[in-house]
Structure 1
Amino acid sequence: MTDDTLEDFYDAIQDLGHPVLTAEELARALDCSQEEADRRLSELAGVGLVGRRDVERDPVVWYPKEWDQQARRERVVTFPNRREFVVSHPEQFTRARLSTFAHLIDTNGSGDALYRIREEDVWGAPYDDLADLLLALRRVTGERHESLEEWITRQWKRARQFVLRTHEDGYTVLEADSESLMGNVARQVLGEDQLHAPISDTESWVREGSEGEIKRLLYDEGYPVRDARDLDTGDPLEIELSLELREYQREWVERFTKQKAGVLVGPPGSGKTVAGMGAMAAVGGETLVLVPSRELAAQWRESLLESTSLSAAEIGEYHGGKKEIRPVTIATYQTAGMERHRRLFDERRWGLIIYDEAHHIPSPVFRRSADLQSKHRLGLSATPVRESDDEVEIFTLIGPPIGTDWSALFEAGYVMEPDVEIRYVPWRNEAAESEYASAVGHERRQVAASNPAKLDEIRRLLEAHAGEKTLIFVDWIDQGEAYAEDLEIPFLSGQTRYAKRERLLSEFRHGTREVLLVSRVGDEGIDLPAATVAIVASGLGGSRRQGSQRAGRTMRPVGGAQVYMLATRGTEEEEFVRDQLRHLQRKGVNVIEADAETA
């Protein structure tokens, strides 16, 4: 009876010409009562042969059960005029292909992802020739899209119309594909600060040290500049790794060594530092590592000693506390950019320069260090976004992005996706709410951030997560000191002496301290590998990068993690926190909203 009904079910679907039917439609097809048709369909559903779905207008619709499995299969829909792809349930192969020529715009919780091809994606695509890039595109879409391929072809050619090369006499030359490009583009955009004089109709003599500025200025005009100079590779330095790279880290390193320049982009906990050491081993030359803080310099030194064959005598630090130039030198951006120190770095021919926390590069203080020249230039950043919208300069000054989309690493289990919850906290009393209502500007935001009820919520969260390693973030020193006294936990800020800071961090890393209160000094440059809970009490007016960095402190290869973002209900903080977490949501991180408990 079941087999006969299933055959009747498929016959009815075919006759109707649409993929679902109701009991009433089956009843008409079988010339039986609706009650009988509903009973038969329920029997088929009971043995797993058909599925049922409640919808708004019809009480129930029925469909072939195997379509559930088909719905979970990969499907790519291309919008060639918008240069976008909607990919349902993308497989690892498809994600890997797309990451080489497209940008992940957004994802949702249903397994769908939106990708877009931007100009800079084509300019930096890691392919030897255009044919390889177009083949990769066709393998993703399964067909040819003439208008899209024509646009990609134009961008590919555009990215190869200017080149910096070394003249046989040793100076640098800017060369254009045509006389028109040199005269109407380069010489209109570039002035005496960048070019000495014309050499020919298509060549110009470059002023020494202006190469980085030339790249930026022409990039802004829509013309990327290839760097084909004969830069020294530095003295050779044999480096062996004592650990095994993950598959995606090997892919990062292979792509970098092929391109010789790029920025590794991946979530916190994905092992970008390890991949950086892999790049050092692959290049095999003397290396300069630039970092934003002396704490991060010390961590790099420790990691190199633990994970490579380098000896202590081969690693130097150059910052406010130490002044050592060695085959591998770790320096702060600020020190490397100072005129009185920069000559020391310029005189040494580095085989590789690594820019850690590379999102700092566009800022004026850090940009000076980007003019240091090397044959290999590698940036590392989890969050290459900037509120000044100049993040494209990160890739202009260092190299094109290299990386794996975050959701792929979450699904593979390399990095644990945190549970992020926006928790809305009411005012503790009318007096606090009145103070907010009468405040203006920056003071208004600070009053909302310091809502006394947040301390009550922090106590509840600490009790709920007793025994777990927890970080509490605040933006204001006064607030941090008050919380430290009330909660009886140490507060780590920029004012904390270096020795005490290192002791607190060591205690937290090794499990002898479970809770730590941290100011903005913890947003980056400090390695907190085992945090399982993060509570952001204030700082919700900060940047998208800050939100990602703080949530990222819990993204590690093992164990679950929970992030709480506290925002005062009915204030500007509500919108601030949503804006701040939008970047994480685009990376596939699930964000939920809830109300805090009330006393």
Structure 2
Amino acid sequence: MMRTGALTIQTNGTILLDTHHKDFEMVQKYLFAFAELTKTLEHVHFYRITPISLWNAAANKFPLSQIIHTLEDFSRYPVPKPVMEFIQQHYNRYGEVIFHRWQDQLFIEVKNAGLKEDLIRYLKDFQLNEREGGFLASFSDRGLIKATLIKHLIPVQDLAGYERGEKIPFTLRKVTRSGSEFALRFYQAEAAYLFSQWKEGSGVIVLPCGAGKTIVGMAVMSDIQENTLIIATNLEALHQWKRELLDKTTLTEDDIGEYTAQTKTIKPITLTTYYMLIHRKSNSEERHIDILTQHQWGLIIYDEVHILPAPIFRMTTAIQSKRRLGLTATLVREDNREGEVFSLIGPKIYEYGWKTLEQEGWIATARCYEIRVPLSNEDFETYLNSSHRLRFRIASENKNKLDVLSHLLTRFSDQSILIIGHFLDQLQAISEFFSIPLITGQTPSEERERLYDAFRRRELTALIISRVGNFSIDLPGANVAIQVSGIFGSRQEEAQRLGRILRPQAQDVHFFTIVSQNTIEEEFAKRRQMFLIEKGYTYEVLYFTPKSKTLIQEVTLP
């Protein structure tokens, strides 16, 4: 006899949650603790149980018995035996290998004796000295050993401790320097508190774009009160952090340093970029990260941690004794290296869902559209006779997209519009055709700031940005985004670009993606489209006819 539970559990670890069930809200809270939310459709939410989601649950001390009871009590059918075995295997794996500090060495405690032979095999490249209950290793190999073991699905509980930084006393303001009342939102305070109390010292906080990850970072800094290194994605993000710190904390200009190509000032709070850390002019030149890691930081903040470049992954293995906070809107990585984020930064300590924040009014309500427009007959013939990679570029730079842009710019002439793209030639052509300023990686920092400020003050109602706009740009007035080209089917990029218009000042925003019809671009767009649908957004597909210059609605995807 079928029960009337809220869950349907599949043998591959996928969980379907009925959104109309009376127990929906209660079950949802439990699932967030041990499963990854992958899709939020109108009638059903999809979750997936993975090794990482179970390690996160174990790290956060969410009981295994509660996971089992949740599935058994709320499932419509008996829980598949392979799912139960999978849960127990991976949940219990966390805590079987524990790092401790023993004098100046690393003690690797192995609680499962059956794992000792595996560790000897997996760690053959490291100098291990066997001891009762585990191994002694060089403390400097702490990060490399963690990164090696995670590849074999062995998570490390790292209790080896972290270095304390020099104290820097400051507080969060109740009234900002700009004169506005300021207080943490409940979820920001909750996230900061959980991190500050985290025994292992390091971890990741996941919040949607527009939810105030920078504020959470500042709250953590205020709790810890120690010298802090903040690594941002680019100069704009770095300057945004500095503005927020000066506006919302009692820190002064004298407390904050910038380590960039223009200035190299190290102060109690120092801001730098990922590029700066890995850049060097010659093979003989010392990388900047080698300079920065010599300082006694009490906290390192990785902004947009999901985009960590490979060299930073490698370098992060060398700074495991520093307390580390990763901030991100999504842990999705196109290279599937989420395990390295877990291993080298730490477990996911806190997450708050996109749609929940939207429903509570903390981020704007977004309407998403894909507009399909054909290539001209001449361009389509060229397209058919081109290579796979060239086809993508031809489709991306479709000249008929200008007509769609003209239509949208007229339709939303009273709004604040961002036009976002990947190919610089295309963006330059759009800029010249519509006389709209363009910001690229080559735009001088002073000019970028001038244009961003003009857009914030609505002296500019439209702005074109290249990939530099994908991350950490605070443009709260933007309420229409038009995407003209992107990086193949990148879900990361889709999340970040949508995030540019989710600031709560705008309660109803529009996100358009212009795609060349019947081309490879349409195929890649399906991946990005599915990402938004899985996050719970409706997605309307429209067709644009160049001759009549009209939009025809084809279908709404729930």
Q: Does 1:585 align with 2:533?
A: yes
**2:104 and 2:541 mapped to 1: Cα distance?**
61
Answer yes or no: is 1:253 the counterpart of 2:192: yes
Please name the residue that 1:274 is paired with.
215
Q: Name 1:326's counterpart in structure 2.
A: 267
1:98 aligned partner, one-letter code: L
SS of 2:6's equivalent in the other structure is strand
Aligned counterpart, 1:545 = 492
* 1:232 partner letter: E
1:346-385 mapped onto 2 (5 Å cutoff): 346-361=293-308, 363-365=310-312, 367-369=314-316, 371-385=318-332
- How far apart, CA to CA, are the structure 2 residues paired with 1:93 and 1:303? 36
Q: What RMSD, in angstroms, separates the aligned Cα atoms of the two structures?
A: 2.4
Q: 2:108 maps to what in 1?
A: 174
Secondary structure at 2:128's aligned position in 1?
A: strand
1:451 and 2:383 equivalent? no
Q: What is the rounded CA distance, in whole Å, between the counterparts of 1:82 and 1:124 in structure 2?
A: 19
User: Matched residues in 2 for 1:177 and 1:441: separation?
Assistant: 52
Query: Against the structure 1 CA distance between its residues 433 and 157, is the aligned structure 2 distance closer, same or farther, given a 3 Å change threshold?
Result: closer
Asked if structure 2 preserves the Cα contact closer than 8 Å seen for 1:134 and 1:149, the reply is: no
Structure 2 partner of 1:57? none
CA distance in 2: counterparts of 1:83 and 1:431, whole angstroms: 49
Q: Structure 1 residues 76, 565: closer, same or farther in 2, change over 3 A?
A: same
- Unpaired runs of 5+ in structure 2? 174-181, 280-285, 548-558
Distance 2:229 2:545 in 1: 50
Query: Which stretch shifts more, 366-375 or 476-485?
Result: 366-375
Partner of 2:147: 216
The 1:152–1:474 alpha-carbon spacing in structure 2 relative to 1, beyond 3 Å, is: closer
**Cα distance change, pair 399–366 in 1 and its aligned pair in 2 (3 A):** closer
Q: Is the 8 A contact 2:485 2:514 kept in 1?
A: yes
2:463 aligns to what?
A: 516
Deviation at 1:473, TM superposition (A): 1.4
Kept in 2: contact 1:173–1:205 (CA 8 A): yes
Structure number with higher relative contact order (C-alpha < 8 Å, ≥ 6 residues apart):
2
| Partner in structure 2 of residue 313 of structure 1 | 254
Matching residue within 107, 123, 135 for 1:190: 123
Contact 1:127/1:133 (8 A) holds in 2? no
Distance 2:191 2:253 in 1: 27
Q: SS state of the match for residue 501, structure 2?
A: coil
CA shift for structure 1 position 141? 6.0
Amino acid at match of 1:135: Q
Where in structure 2 are the equivalents of 1:423-442 lying within 5 Å?
Answer: 423-427=371-375, 429-442=376-389
Structure-2 residue corresponding to 1:120: 52
Deviation at 1:178, TM superposition (A): 4.5
CA contact (8 A) 1:189 1:218 kept: yes
1: CA distance between counterparts of 2:157 and 2:341? Answer: 16
Q: Aligned-pair distance for 1:151?
A: 4.6
Cα distance in structure 1, aligned partners of 2:162 and 2:49? 32
Distance 2:54 2:439 in 1: 44
1:59 corresponds to which residue? none
Q: Distance in 1 between matches of 2:342 and 2:112?
A: 26
Once residues 96 and 115 of structure 1 are traced to their aligned partners in structure 2, the CA distance between those partners, rounded to angstroms, is 12
Alignment map for 1:354-503 (pairs within 5 Å)? 354-361=301-308, 363-365=310-312, 367-369=314-316, 371-401=318-348, 402-427=350-375, 429-503=376-450
How many Å apart are 1:108 and its aligned residue?
A: 1.0
Secondary structure, counterpart of 1:594 in structure 2:
strand
Q: Is 1:283 aligned to residue 234 of structure 2?
A: no
**What are structure 1's unaligned runs of at least 5 residues?**
1-73
- The letter for the 1-side match of 2:46 is L
Q: What residue is the counterpart of 1:4 in the other structure?
A: none
**Letter of the 1:88 counterpart:** D
For residues 212-251 of structure 1, the aligned pairs below 5 Å read 212-242=143-173, 243-251=182-190
3-state SS of 1:451 partner: coil
Contact 1:336 1:369 in 2 (8 A): no
Deviation at 1:371, TM superposition (A): 3.1
Cα 1:80–1:398 shift into 2, 3 Å: same
Per-residue CA deviations over 1:149-197 (Å, capped at 9, x if unaligned) read: 6653433321111111111x22222221255422x211211134xx333
Contact 2:64–2:91 under 8 Å retained in 1: no
> Normalized against structure 2, the TM-score is what?
0.87
Distance 2:101 2:291 in 1: 23
Q: Tell whether the 8 Å contact from 1:319 to 1:335 is kept in structure 2 after alignment.
A: yes
Cα distance in 2 for partners of 1:96, 1:245 equals 22
